[in-house]
Structure 1
Amino acid sequence: MTQIDSKRRRVWFITGTSSGMGYAIAKAALEHGDLVAATARNTRALEELVTDFPGQALTIDLDVRDEEAVKMAVSRTIGEFRRIDVVVNNAGFALVGPVEGTSDKQARDLFDTGFFGALNVLRAALPVLRSQRSGHVLHMSSIFGEMSFPGTGMLAAVKQALGGATQAMGAELAPLGIKFTQIEPGALHTRFLAKWIVAEHAIADYDDTAGATLEGLKDLPPEAIADVSRVAAAILELVDAEQPPLRLALGSWAGEIIRKEIAGRSTDFENWSHLTKSVDNS
């Protein structure tokens, strides 16, 4: 067991740390002096963290779809660091294309990692946080946790499914001192979109809608793309907050898109309020 006094440092349990956002969060937390259990399906890319931060970084091979493996990873973290203060559900991948063109297997694979995999982590970690009466759970989402473009329907579906659970858990566990935040950046300087999986069935009728959006995502303006190190720094500041938000947009571009989405919903609500009220018993 490490000799570092974990009572003075946060202990992070992070999934999907082999690259991109997960790696950036792990590195930022370690540079801050915290302790990190960095998990990934292949941890070879994390050897540098162990070398650079001896005694602080614990790497664990983990596929979040394997419930028993997740339990073992959490137990190993407790054995090494004695507690968990921050849980980051970051594992996932991008599935894009028209919803109709998405195969059943593709959709289930997406949810097995991005939704059910996150639930596996929560079922293993929440008993620890409840016993501590403290902790902060971060779910790495995106603007698609609030809305969807043509061609991003399945990606939005998994983000919004987890967002609904996040909101409920935030209320359920607040009395026990456990906080939840859904992180919602726009595009990031990572390989996430570069590695996207396209819907299996090509349907020409969607070329002008879903197809056009996907082409646009390949050429986003600079202001739409956030640097992962800045996002990681913002997350470190977030976990210092006594009362963190349930949802946090990161990046002006992301904030503006989400703001327009919320405004549009409000306008629809007002414009159709006569039908909303028409079903009331009077």
Structure 2
Amino acid sequence: MTRVWFITGASRGLGRAFTEAALAAGDRVVAAARNLEPLAELADKHPGALVRLPLDVTDRAAVFKGVEQAVAAFGRLDVVLNNAGGLLLGMVEEATEEQLRAHFDVNFFGAVWVTQAVVPHLRAQGSGHLLQVTSMGASGGFASTGMYAAGKAALNSVSEAVAMEVEPFGIKVTILQMGGYDTGLFTVGTTMTEPDPLYAKLRAQLAEMWGDEAGPDPSTAVPAVMELLDLPEPPVRLIVGGASYDMVLQLEQARTEQYRAWERLSRLAPG
């Protein structure tokens, strides 16, 4: 059976990679994005299988209307890839209120609006798989990417709650903690803070640590997720990327070791 996908942020990066993969598999796709021009050639190549939907996920009313249009296009939704997002890069002190609110409007609230809009349809049909795209970086804060990690960590927590809430209705939820793929996140998807000279040394250290490697092509993440969709009991969380898997485990082990090192102090307090 062919599946119907609803993909946000479908014009580039991971969204584009999964749009292409779904169409290649014979599935149908409603591809949502603010800029649909990059999808024009793909629409010509797959007439009748790809519907392009202009959508700004920060507009809650537009999201609900867009989801209604998506359901009307193909009659159902089987896979929802909640992928739209961006990066606010800079030290916490440097970020303006406008930048912070705009960042969370896309990365957190936008994903929540999509979740709220699709769940009633998935519940009515008694099936569906909601894929929440977060990040391996959501495992903890890191200098200059703290706001990005915070938004993704918040989405992780909300998504775990949603998974419990919708399981009785036959809906599956998986958090995709994506590794560092070459999605354009650090270029066209980035908003920069105004650099404070006091952080120049730290910035130089971070630049040296990260290097110039853009990461693997987003298409290399596709096989793992496509296999995930065929599992009768998929996990609620999946780290996507071997190197990222190793890094997340190291972070979790270091955190556990720190907890244990201060266990005596923790147990001084009741509760």
Correspondent of 1:189 among 182, 196, 200: 182
Correspondent of 2:193 among 199, 209, 227: 199
Give 2:100's aligned residue: 107
Displacement of 1:213: 1.7
Give 1:23's aligned residue: 16
Q: Retained in 2: the 8 A contact 1:16–1:90?
A: yes
Correspondent of 1:261 among 235, 251, 259: 251
The correspondence of residues 230-249 of structure 1 with structure 2, limited to 5 A, is 230-249=220-239
Q: Write the distance in 1 (CA, Å) between the matches of 2:92 and 2:240.
A: 27
- Over aligned residues, Cα RMSD in angstroms? 1.6
Correspondent of 1:69 among 46, 62, 66: 62
Give 2:241's aligned residue: 251
Q: Write the distance in 2 (CA, Å) between the matches of 1:150 and 1:100.
A: 11
Q: Write the distance in 2 (CA, Å) between the matches of 1:51 and 1:62.
A: 20
* TM-score normalised to structure 1 length: 0.91
Q: Does 1:158 align with 2:151?
A: yes
Displacement of 1:211: 4.7
Give 1:273's aligned residue: 263
Displacement of 1:241: 1.1
Q: Write the distance in 2 (CA, Å) between the matches of 1:237 and 1:134.
A: 18
SS of the residue 1:175 aligns to: helix
* TM-score normalised to structure 2 length: 0.94
The correspondence of residues 167-186 of structure 1 with structure 2, limited to 5 A, is 167-186=160-179
Encode CA deviations 1:165-184: one digit per residue, 9 max, x unaligned. Answer: 01111111112221111212
Q: What is the number of residues matched between the two proteins?
A: 270
Q: Retained in 2: the 8 A contact 1:16–1:91?
A: yes
- Relative to 1, partners in 2 of residues 1:12 and 1:266: Cα closer, same or farther, differing over 3 Å? same
Q: Write the distance in 1 (CA, Å) between the matches of 2:157 and 2:9.
A: 21
Encode CA deviations 1:34-68: one digit per residue, 9 max, x unaligned. Answer: 11000000111111221111211111011111112
Q: Does 1:11 align with 2:1?
A: no
Q: Retained in 2: the 8 A contact 1:226–1:251?
A: no
SS of the residue 1:189 aligns to: coil
Give 2:142's aligned residue: 149
Structure 2 runs not aligned, ≥5 long: none
Structure 1 runs not aligned, ≥5 long: 1-7
SS of the residue 1:158 aligns to: helix
Q: Percent identity?
A: 37
Give 1:44's aligned residue: 37
Displacement of 1:18: 1.1
SS of the residue 1:83 aligns to: coil
66-75 or 205-214: bigger deviation: 205-214
Encode CA deviations 1:50-91: one digit per residue, 9 max, x unaligned. Answer: 111121111101111111211121111111111111111111
